Amino acid sequence: MICHKHKVQYYETDKMGITHHSNYIRWMEEGRTAFFESIGYPYDEFEKLGMFSPVIGINCEYRDTTTYCDEVEIDVSIISYNGVRMKMAYVMKNTKTNKTVLLATSDHCFIKKEGGIARINRAYPILHEKMLSLIESNDDNK
Amino acid sequence: MICHKHKVQYYETDKMGITHHSNYIRWMEEGRTAFFESIGYPYDEFEKLGMFSPVIGINCEYRDTTTYCDEVEIDVSIISYNGVRMKMAYVMKNTKTNKTVLLATSDHCFIKKEGGIARINRAYPILHEKMLSLIESNDDNK
Amino acid sequence: MICHKHKVQYYETDKMGITHHSNYIRWMEEGRTAFFESIGYPYDEFEKLGMFSPVIGINCEYRDTTTYCDEVEIDVSIISYNGVRMKMAYVMKNTKTNKTVLLATSDHCFIKKEGGIARINRAYPILHEKMLSLIESNDDNK
Amino acid sequence: MICHKHKVQYYETDKMGITHHSNYIRWMEEGRTAFFESIGYPYDEFEKLGMFSPVIGINCEYRDTTTYCDEVEIDVSIISYNGVRMKMAYVMKNTKTNKTVLLATSDHCFIKKEGGIARINRAYPILHEKMLSLIESNDDNK
């Protein structure tokens, strides 16, 4: 599990005076970028190998609001991975209050730039083993 | 159920060449705006009454990609409502291909501007009855 | 000159209660999309020919605010074009109040997907002639 | 002058494969937040005093593109201020290449939450003196 921090920007708030809910989806992606960088497989390098890992599912439970100038800590982990599919989990906390603001998961597949499923286990066995070794139980997330 | 159309803009695409997945969350909100307008209760009027209906949960299943200049038809319906909570369902289709691109739900509560839960059944009985009458089975959504 | 309409969405507002100023830049792009579609040269087709027209300059004068549910009319015109550079002008009005909300211009060049300047006059003489014929004085814009 | 860093996110790119130009407008705001924090007058505190400082003009010259995972250094300075109006300047550089990617300015006024112009010189003489002392020549910016 890695932990990434995001400071809420003015342009991320809405007329309710709080962070617009769509931004958490973007911060999940920020967390993924930080996660893959931290394990030595930056996502931009991954794409340069001719692969993409699109989001095929999102599940978010909003627990508390945040607003301009709040700092959000984003914990990211892989909770399942089998070479063709991956599920990641996110726990976001307001670092000032230590309150959980979001619990979420995202589902991903792997595709080749030219089309078709990318089988990480065959094409990138070292990355595959790395990912398998990083799977965490999500008992802590709920 | 109402149907709202959104044309995908260039600023909504990402470097994969497709619509960034976070935008569908925004289009769900566009759909809600159109929905409440169509039933005679525009959401901006609702807020002027001193209430908010924040999103407390989001569930998205991405079925197909869209890109710049595609037109997306967004079908919106209420699938549950009990005076304090509401669940809405969304089916998005690419109008060119008629393919389903997204199946989603959003969960909402109702709060008062000054804080605390807004009980629509007591405070706005006419809106409450209207909402109850609009509940649809979501059998068609899956 | 063409006229495109945009309804302000909740996700476009900020905690000041008004449309966040960065969104007008996006609506200018929406206006360009509508403009090139209206003259028979949709921008997505232009990109399929292997060209891009990136924004190299932006100038905005914010005259009035807008907010959720306002409708903005975006008038778009070409005010200069010479085969390698183009300047477009935008006048945005709130359709309810008829007040001008934004006066803006954007500067563009043309590049080839594989790199290098795209000379529209040589590569696409018909489009070139069309663009020349559309140049409008921007006397009305200020 | 202060210097703020922003790492380009995937959701900030577009189908051209580069950062969408509208995001630089948002990073200018990020730079302002960092600027006012660094001088001891965080903008969120400013708003709590019942004032807003809306953007009334934007001028951007895009010099180079950036993309996912690039780091952008944002230098922010006040180049004019007279108690009722303020102009800020921005120089953004790609920290990898040290190339200038954007030169920009933004114009601001000061308004009171309840409406009407906020005269910083009268209402907040200490902040007013601070701002006057921070004015920099923008000779370096062009």
A29 touches C: beta carbon within 8 Å: no
Distance CA A101, CA A91 (A): 8
Average pLDDT over residues D101-124: 92
Å from B135 to nearest chain D CA?
35
Cβ-defined contact of A26 to D33 (cutoff 8 Å): no
* Per-residue pLDDT tens digits for D91-103: 999 999 999 999 9
The lowest-confidence range among B7-16, D64-73, D118-127 is: D118-127
Residue pointed to by tokens 């920007």: A9
Nearest residue of D to residue A52 by CA position?
A: D10
Q: How confident is the model at residue B141 (pLDDT cuts 50, 70, 90)?
A: very low
* Residues 6 or more apart whose Cβ sits within 8 Å of residue C8: C19, C66, C67, C68, C69, C70, C71, C72
DSSP structure class, residue D13: B
Q: How confident is the model at residue D115 (pLDDT cuts 50, 70, 90)?
A: confident
pLDDT for the residue numbered C140: 47
Residue B80, judged by CB atoms within 10 A of its CB (0-12, 13-18, 19+), counts as middle
Distance CA B9, CA C55 (A): 15
Cβ-defined contact of B10 to D13 (cutoff 8 Å): no
**Model-level pTM?**
0.95
Nearest residue of D to residue C29 by CA position?
A: D22
Q: How confident is the model at residue D1 (pLDDT cuts 50, 70, 90)?
A: confident
pLDDT for the residue numbered A138: 56
pLDDT for the residue numbered C49: 87
Distance of CA B93 to the CA centre of its chain: 14
* Residues 6 or more apart whose Cβ sits within 8 Å of residue D133: none
pLDDT at B142 over 80: no
Nearest residue of B to residue A28 by CA position?
A: B22
* Residues 6 or more apart whose Cβ sits within 8 Å of residue A16: B52, B54
Per-chain mean pLDDT for chain B: 93
pLDDT for the residue numbered B140: 47
pLDDT at A142 over 90: no
Q: Greater confidence, A27 or C48?
A: A27
Cβ-defined contact of B69 to C33 (cutoff 8 Å): yes
In order of B8, D46, D80, D130, the CA distances from D121 in angstroms are 46, 14, 14, 10
Q: A43 contacts in D (CB within 8 Å)?
A: 10, 68-69
pLDDT at B101 over 60: yes
Please answer whether residues D27 and D58 qualify as being in contact, where contact means their C-beta atoms are separated by less than 8 angstroms: no
Q: D16 contacts in C (CB within 8 Å)?
A: 52, 54
* Per-residue pLDDT tens digits for B4-25: 999 999 999 999 999 999 999 9
pLDDT for the residue numbered D138: 56
Q: Greater confidence, B58 or A119?
A: B58
A71 touches D: beta carbon within 8 Å: no
Q: C70 contacts in A (CB within 8 Å)?
A: none
CA atoms within 13 A on the CB side of B61: 10
Q: C55 contacts in D (CB within 8 Å)?
A: 21, 62
pLDDT at C111 over 80: yes
Name the residue facing A17 among C10, C15, C68 (closest C-beta).
C15
Q: Which residues pair with D73 in a beta bridge?
A: D5, D93
Distance CA C17, CA D102 (A): 29
Name the residue facing A10 among D10, D29, D68 (closest C-beta).
D29
Interface TM-score (ipTM) > 0.90: yes
Name the residue facing B33 among C10, C30, C43 (closest C-beta).
C10
